[in-house]
């Protein structure tokens, strides 16, 4: 009897038994990554859990009390112990501060609206941690992100999650083709977060009912300005609120307290029409305000583009795509015009309000769930 020369692919896409397939699971201590680790362990894979210690609230934010990062590490370790696989904690505090926190603070000081979760995936999790996984002789690395990896005619493709409400494609657009070859996202096909929690209960995980994190991890209370003041004390320098002609309307106590599109809290009364923040000029320490119509934008300059399409980005004069210019809005129809391999102009078919430098612009196939990559919005 002839031996099968082509054994079937396992659930991670390898032609070998799960027991012979090593997978490093990036474990944050939350329910999503814990379910991924437990699921793969139950399926018989050679699972290695890794948790990154990225920050210490006490040191980074001069805050007394318990360290949330420590609680998360403890939860990840408990899951690994209960499911019977090894777990390691790696100290990435310096890397995270240099690659993510410092840029976050400097971007805000520059009048931009940064998205640090994207930089963390790009510069820490899918770069340094991925290399660590390879050093551990893993076949792949799995995460708890809600996004799908689909094998297409030309290799692995990135697709939105089955559950649109949990889709994290906006935060993962900078995943490169090389990284996508090595990554796996076992939760992307699930219909809802409730399905994930049901699996956590099935595996008896201690984190089954742990609340989802709502804020940026190193800004646990959502107060960006106070964090930046601690990191960059000069950020609270006072200045003026001015109109588009440069006329002084009021004073402010730091541009970090304002965001593009903000209407409330400007301290300007007695006007017939409301004013909105339309621009932040950190060099001049000015908050520029104007009518709502000034927030509307159709042409968006984009740089640092990561392209995930099959044909080279610059091979066409224009691409008809859908784009998302903030995480909370659905994709909208646009024309993408390459200027180089990594820069482009995005023309929105319908104007969007409150687009800010520092945010991401993510490209989607308008006819499918595929993600074509994206880039960073900058000042044109």
The pLDDT tens digits of the residues spanning 16-34 come to: 999 999 999 999 999 999 9
For residue 69, what pLDDT band results from cuts at 50, 70 and 90? low
Asked, colleague to colleague, whether 238-290 and 295-377 share their fold, the answer is no
Q: Which residues contact 127 (CB under 8 A, 6 or more apart)?
A: none
Tell me, yes or no, if 120 is annotated catalytic: yes
> How far is Cα 365 from Cα 380, in angstroms, rounded to an integer?
25
pLDDT surpasses 60 at 67: no
- 3-class secondary-structure state, position 249: strand
Calculate what percentage of the chain has a pLDDT beyond 90. Answer: 74
CATH label, 295-377, candidates 3.55.50.30, 3.40.50.450, 3.30.460.80, 2.40.30.10: 2.40.30.10
> How far is Cα 53 from Cα 104, in angstroms, rounded to an integer?
18
Residue showing tokens 């899918």: 126
Among 67, 68, 140, 217, the one annotated catalytic: 217
CA 165 to chain CA centroid, Å, is 15
User: Which residues, listed in sequence order, are joined to residue 276 by a DSSP beta bridge?
Assistant: 290
CB-CB contact of 83 with 46 (8 Å): no
Tell me, yes or no, if 117 is annotated catalytic: no
Q: What is the average pLDDT value for the chain, to the nearest integer?
A: 91
Residue range 328-334: mean pLDDT, rounded: 93
Q: What is the pLDDT of residues 156-185, one digit of tens each?
A: 999 999 999 999 999 999 999 999 999 999
pLDDT surpasses 80 at 62: no
Q: What is the pLDDT of residues 119-164, one digit of tens each?
A: 999 999 999 999 999 999 999 999 999 999 999 999 999 999 999 9
Angle at 8 between CA 7 and CA 11, to 5 degrees: 135
CB atoms within 10 A of CB 280: 24
CATH label, 18-202, candidates 3.40.50.620, 2.40.160.20, 3.90.550.10, 3.20.20.80: 3.40.50.620
Residue 71's pLDDT is 85
Residue boundaries of the structural domains of the chain: 18-202, 238-290, 295-377
Closest C-alpha among 205, 173, 166 to residue 304? 173
Among 117, 120, 140, 361, the one annotated catalytic: 120
Question: Homologous superfamily of 238-290 in CATH?
Answer: Adenine nucleotide alpha hydrolases-like domains (2.30.30.280)
């Amino acid at each position: 009897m002839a031996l099968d020369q082509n054994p079937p692919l396992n659930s991670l896409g390898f032609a070998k038994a799960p027991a012979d397939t090593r997978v490093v699971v990036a474990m944050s201590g939350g329910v999503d990554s814990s379910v991924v680790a437990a699921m793969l362990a139950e399926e018989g894979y050679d699972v290695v859990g890794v948790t990154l210690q990225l920050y210490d609230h006490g040191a980074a934010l001069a805050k007394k009390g318990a360290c949330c990062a420590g609680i998360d590490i403890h939860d990840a370790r408990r899951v690994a112990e209960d499911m019977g696989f090894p777990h390691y904690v790696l100290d990435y505090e310096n890397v995270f501060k240099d690659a993510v926190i410092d840029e976050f603070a400097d971007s805000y000081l520059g009048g931009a609206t940064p998205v640090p979760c994207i930089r963390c995936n790009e510069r820490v999790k899918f770069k340094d941690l991925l290399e660590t996984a390879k050093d551990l002789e893993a076949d792949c690395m799995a995460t708890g992100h809600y996004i799908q990896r689909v094998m297409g005619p030309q290799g692995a493709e990135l697709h939105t999650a089955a559950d649109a409400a949990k889709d994290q494609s906006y935060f993962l657009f900078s995943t490169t083709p090389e990284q996508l070859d090595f990554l796996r996202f076992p939760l992307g096909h699930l219909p809802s977060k409730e399905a994930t929690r049901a699996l956590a209960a099935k595996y008896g995980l201690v984190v089954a009912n742990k609340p989802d994190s709502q804020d940026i991890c190193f800004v646990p209370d959502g107060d960006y300005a106070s964090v930046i003041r601690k990191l960059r004390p000069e950020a609270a320098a006072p200045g003026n609120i001015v109109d588009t002609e440069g006329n002084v309307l009021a004073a402010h106590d730091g541009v970090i307290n304002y965001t593009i599109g903000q209407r409330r809290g400007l301290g300007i009364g007695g006007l017939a029409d409301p004013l909105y923040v339309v621009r932040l000029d950190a060099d001049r320490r000015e908050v520029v305000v104007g009518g709502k119509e000034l927030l509307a934008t159709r042409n968006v300059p984009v740089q640092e583009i990561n392209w995930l399409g099959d044909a080279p980005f610059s091979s066409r004069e224009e691409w008809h795509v859908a784009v998302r210019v903030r995480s909370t809005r659905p994709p909208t129809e646009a024309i993408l015009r390459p200027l180089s391999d990594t820069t482009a102009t995005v023309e929105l078919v319908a104007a969007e309000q409150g687009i800010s430098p520092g945010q991401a612009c993510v490209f989607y196939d308008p006819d499918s769930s595929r993600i074509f990559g994206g880039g960073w919005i900058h000042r044109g």
